[in-house]
Amino acid sequence: MFYVKDLITKVLLSGQSRDGLYVLSESSVITSVPEAFLSTSMSSTANVWHRRLGHPSFCILGSLVSNNKVACTSRVFNFSCSSCPLGKASRLSLGLTGHKTCAPLELIFSDVWGPSLMLSTDGYRYFVIFMDTYTKYIWFFPLAAKSDVFKIFLQF
């Protein structure tokens, strides 16, 4: 069983989860008004609705506006969302190496990420991971500078 509550812990929705997913249906709605979509101003910009509704595509947001499901102050969707490309980012898996590992640490893959737009709480802007192909174990190391990768690799 799951519950969706507002800031004052009033239950807005409830339902049964299936296979780890929260399934919403008509019977999930406890209140007659969809209070999750209410704000001090009922009409908001497309950018605000995009964030409120979990970053839907422009096509879906446009459909909601044209069917009067949400009140939008502007029907022009020309904003850019920095979260969407990050959330949809994916990479292809590594190709076959032709090498079969027989023991831990025989073959290690590495990936360096950064620079991050924000510093971590400890002041790091880069990160490196090392993955053992035999055990699939991953080691994660934060880095202050990208030039620290070799030093961390030698310590590893």
| Domain identity same for 30 and 64 | no
Residue pair 142/124 in contact (Cβ under 8 Å)? The answer is yes
| Domain identity same for 122 and 149 | yes
Structure tokens, 14: 């409830």
Q: Structurally, how many domains does the chain consist of?
A: 3
Alpha carbon 86 to chain centroid distance?
Answer: 7
In this structure, is residue 86 part of a structural domain? no
Q: How confident is the model at residue 34 (pLDDT cuts 50, 70, 90)?
A: very low
| Domain identity same for 29 and 48 | no
* Residue that the structure tokens 């831990």 belong to: 104
What integer pLDDT is reported at residue 59 of this predicted model?
A: 83
In this structure, is residue 85 part of a structural domain? no
Domain coverage including residue 15: 1-36
For 43-59, what is the mean pLDDT?
80
| Domain identity same for 117 and 142 | yes
Query: Strands 21-22 and 17-18, how do they pair?
Result: antiparallel
| Domain identity same for 45 and 9 | no
In this structure, is residue 97 part of a structural domain? no
| Domain identity same for 45 and 18 | no
| Domain identity same for 2 and 29 | yes
- What's the length of the chain? 156
Q: How confident is the model at residue 35 (pLDDT cuts 50, 70, 90)?
A: very low
pLDDT more than 70, % of the chain: 73
Q: How far apart are CA 125 and CA 23, in angstroms?
A: 38
Residue 143 has pLDDT above 80, yes or no: yes
The reported pTM is: 0.42
| Domain identity same for 55 and 44 | yes
Mean pLDDT of the chain: 78
For 94-113, what is the mean pLDDT?
85
What integer pLDDT is reported at residue 112 of this predicted model?
A: 93
